[in-house]
Structure 1
Amino acid sequence: MASAVKDSRPGYGQLLRTPGAWTFLLPGFLARQPFAMLTISIVLLVENTTGSYGTAGAVSAATGVSMALFAPQGGKLADRFGQRAVLVPGVLLHALAVSALIALALSHAPLWALLAVAVPTGASTPQVGPMVRARWAARLGGTPLMPTAAAFESVTDEFTFVIGPVLATALCTSIHPAAGLIAEGALTLAGGLLFASQHRSQPAVERTRSTGQPHASALSVPGVRALVVGFLGIGSVFGGMQVSLTAFTQDIGQPGINGVLYGIFAAGNMLAGIACGAIAWKIGPRRRLLTAYGLLALATTPLWAVTVVPLLGAVGLLVGLCIAPALITGYTLVESLVPASARTEAFTWLTGAVALGQATAVAVAGRLADHFGPSSGFLVPLGGTALALVVLLALRGRLVPHSESLVVGSGTQDGTAAHGPDGERGVGHREPLPVD
């Protein structure tokens, strides 16, 4: 397979012909769908039973923050003991927590009880997206197809977040207020168990304990900490856009076009993701990340001043086009920065950072919109990306992989280091990728 990667231009067709890819792609898509349904389903159910968007938002935010904080721990356990060992008990716990949340909401339980159950609900949400990325990295790490895989996963995530909320809303409004959350729990259980059953494609467990070496956290890698800040900024764009577009369309008396405007924003993200995966890049991922992030911060600048719907749609499209390159390149950098023994954890740190940035942005943008007008919420994406860009520029030296970070902690199933004939980690020959 390595020779095929070397001799042809990377593309989605070649990526999807990777042996064994479909065995985890299809179950992975089913299992990650509930990730996009959870928070909106909670909002719709709790608002229906309490009549308060504030209460619904608080329960949803508690779930999101819990998910962001506990996801990296699940990733660390998956790296150490295997994805299946984490997924099976995790989806069972999630199904129980969701069932308890539904029961409490329908029985009009107090806010403290809902918050108490929201924490395990978020903490047990399976991180299937990072696990799929880790499987791609285990198969393609170091080859020109890895950026294509990162782009494919970004497009898949965005597609999930387009259809997930629509499905949850339709179920809650046309069947029963709890139908969305019931479907989320059922899909998580079925999809998670099916994905976990594909154990042949999961990354090999790094047996660091047998060598006497401590299991290092992915967050101990300086480059990962820099990327976490960058992904917090990206999360601020998602959260700020959601709240601010809702407030803006309600203020102008056209709440129905909120979905259209956010759909344009999401479409820009998807289109850019597809394009990124089809391009054979000649410049390194660090330069691509800094360039894309600078363009993202620049694109968010006029949002707060736009008052015309078509122009806001155009600017939203531009912002979406700038997000995907930054996300994809960040995930691509993980493969070169982090040893295999901590890769799933690293992916979950980034996914959790987006969730945490989004939850924080929702709260801040909502308060700004309440106190200073609907357009003021658009300052959150601008502020979040600008601050993150400053940090990324200051720490750009940490985004270059060092040789020792590629070897320490990496290895084969028996704990020995795996090197190709060229001395690099991995199986077979690797084409060197530009780092800047």
Structure 2
Amino acid sequence: MASTVTPRPARRPEARRPGYGQLLRTPGAWTFLLPGFAARQPFGMLTLSLVLLVQHTTGSYGAAGAVAAVTGTSMALAAPLAGRLTDRYGQRAVLVPSVLAHAAAAALLLVLALSHAPLWALFAVAVPTGATVPQIGPMVRARWSVALRDSPLASTAAAFESVTDEFTFVIGPLLATALCTAVTPAAGLVAEATLTLVGGLLFAASRRTQPPVDRAAGSRGRRASALRVPGVRVLVVAFLGVGCVFGGMQVSLAAFTEAIDRPGLNGVLYGIFAAGNMLSGLACGAIAWRVAPRHRLLTGYAALALAASALWAADSVLLLAALGLVVGVCVAPVIVTGFTLVGDMVLGARTEAFTWLSGAVALGQAAAATVAGQFEDRLWDGAGFLVPMIGVLLALVTLLAARSRLHPSPDLSPRPSPVGTGSVRPVA
């Protein structure tokens, strides 16, 4: 008897996320990507440039870390306000005066440091230097939302921006270290101010891709803050811990290489940390994840805490390089996933929401630089590496205790704003 064979249904091709190459061919993208990348560098360069400059002029890592901390604190506190003003008045109206003021403040801070001005004078000028750092990352995300709207490339753009943020946090310190050690201790701050000024003005000049301003929302009254969402507050704590890694690593690596009389290795060691961070960030942005972002964040943060906890025990260049690589690999998934979650939690005022996370990194970085500098001055060589461990462990405890809040909460989110006033939702 003849048997009947039922044909198998044809297998559907798996959906693939549009690639980075296709994204970068979006019309008008390069008009804001290139200047935007240059103007983002203060987040990566400013803290370390100040640490190396002030340490050179004062001889104290404690004083250097304190000046950097004042700058970072000002940047962190001013960032959400800048985000809210941008949502209300538009990017150009906020960006042009911001970059001009930042360049002037950085120039004055440089002159004061080189002239050996008292520490209180450095603190006074560090406040406007940090407060005027432009919030370019959230602005770029908002421009992608206008350029792509409902395109499937929107998720690719969000991943690309998360990776770009990673590059900023690791390339900036590398550039600052190279300039301060190979040219002059003042070169890092000069380059940072120049990139901010030129990149910021070119970015502002690209009007065609600037998001429209929601004038009606501004006239209706005060918009609800993104910080009202409980999950956003938890993520702010998590990003404070990430900032502790950056700040603690920057100061401690500089102190370690100076203690062994090989300051040139500082750039090499930080470069290894940067390489792990960038490669991991690229992978996270390209993978179409099946695991929920909340679980990815908790797992990634636990791995980061474990890796950071071993830094203080490193007693050789090779061991420190290996541990730095592992820490770098663990940092990127946390940042990428954090931006994913905040996009899920906040329906409106996304420019402000992203500035809260960026500001938290800056604040954690500044605080860690201060404490690590004090540890290096007052305790043993390498004591500064305790700072990343402590910061990440405290943040991990908070994440575990408040993990139930890391879910989308539409009822608690601010009112949705029209496309263009916020940012696209990052997905890892």
Q: What is the TM-score when the length of structure 2 is the normalising length? A: 0.85
**Stretch moving more, 8-17 or 145-154:** 145-154
- Determine the structure 2 residue equivalent to 1:350: 357
**Are residues 1:121 and 2:123 paired?**
no
- Determine the structure 1 residue equivalent to 2:77: 69
Alpha-carbon distance change, 118 to 204 in structure 1, aligned in 2, over 3 angstroms: same
What is the CA deviation profile of residues 169-214 of structure 1, one whole-angstrom value per residue up to 9, with x for unaligned ones?
Answer: 5555666654443333232222111111223323333345467353
**Stretch moving more, 240-249 or 383-392:** 240-249
- Determine the structure 2 residue equivalent to 1:228: 236
- Determine the structure 1 residue equivalent to 2:410: 403
- Determine the structure 2 residue equivalent to 1:131: 139
Give the % identical residues: 66
User: Which 5+ residue runs of structure 2 have no aligned equivalent?
Assistant: 1-13
Within a 5 Å distance, the mapping from 1:22-41 to structure 2 comes to 22-41=30-49
**Are residues 1:376 and 2:388 paired?**
no
**Stretch moving more, 349-358 or 103-112:** 103-112
**Stretch moving more, 218-227 or 403-412:** 403-412
**Stretch moving more, 201-210 or 343-352:** 201-210
- Determine the structure 2 residue equivalent to 1:90: 98
Code of the aligned partner of 1:386: L
SS of residue paired to 2:40? helix
- Offset, 1:7: 5.2
> Which of 371, 375, 384 does residue 364 from structure 1 map onto?
371
Provide the alpha-carbon RMSD of the alignment.
3.1
CA contact (8 A) 1:208 1:215 kept: no
Distance 1:254 1:360 in 2: 26
- Offset, 1:354: 0.7
Within a 5 Å distance, the mapping from 1:53-68 to structure 2 comes to 53-68=61-76
What is the CA deviation profile of residues 129-174 of structure 1, one whole-angstrom value per residue up to 9, with x for unaligned ones?
Answer: 2222333355568877555434433433343344434544555566
Which structure has more relative contact order (CA 8 Å, sep 6+)? It is 2
**Stretch moving more, 42-51 or 195-204:** 42-51
**Stretch moving more, 232-241 or 47-56:** 47-56
> Which of 390, 397, 414 does residue 390 from structure 1 map onto?
397
Alpha-carbon distance change, 281 to 52 in structure 1, aligned in 2, over 3 angstroms: closer
- Determine the structure 1 residue equivalent to 2:267: 259
**Stretch moving more, 261-270 or 154-163:** 154-163
Corresponding pairs, count: 413
Distance 1:82 1:229 in 2: 29
SS of residue paired to 1:216? coil
- Offset, 1:401: 1.3
Distance 1:339 1:384 in 2: 30
**Are residues 1:214 and 2:222 paired?**
yes
CA contact (8 A) 2:65 2:371 kept: no
Code of the aligned partner of 2:321: G
Distance 2:359 2:245 in 1: 15
CA contact (8 A) 1:34 1:188 kept: yes
**Stretch moving more, 197-206 or 402-411:** 402-411
Alpha-carbon distance change, 275 to 202 in structure 1, aligned in 2, over 3 angstroms: same
User: Which 5+ residue runs of structure 1 have no aligned equivalent?
Assistant: 1-5, 416-424
SS of residue paired to 1:203? coil
Distance 1:410 1:278 in 2: 28
SS of residue paired to 1:199? coil
Q: What is the TM-score when the length of structure 1 is the normalising length? A: 0.84
Code of the aligned partner of 2:96: V
Distance 1:110 1:406 in 2: 46
Alpha-carbon distance change, 382 to 176 in structure 1, aligned in 2, over 3 angstroms: closer
- Determine the structure 2 residue equivalent to 1:238: 246
CA contact (8 A) 1:239 1:360 kept: yes
Alpha-carbon distance change, 9 to 108 in structure 1, aligned in 2, over 3 angstroms: closer
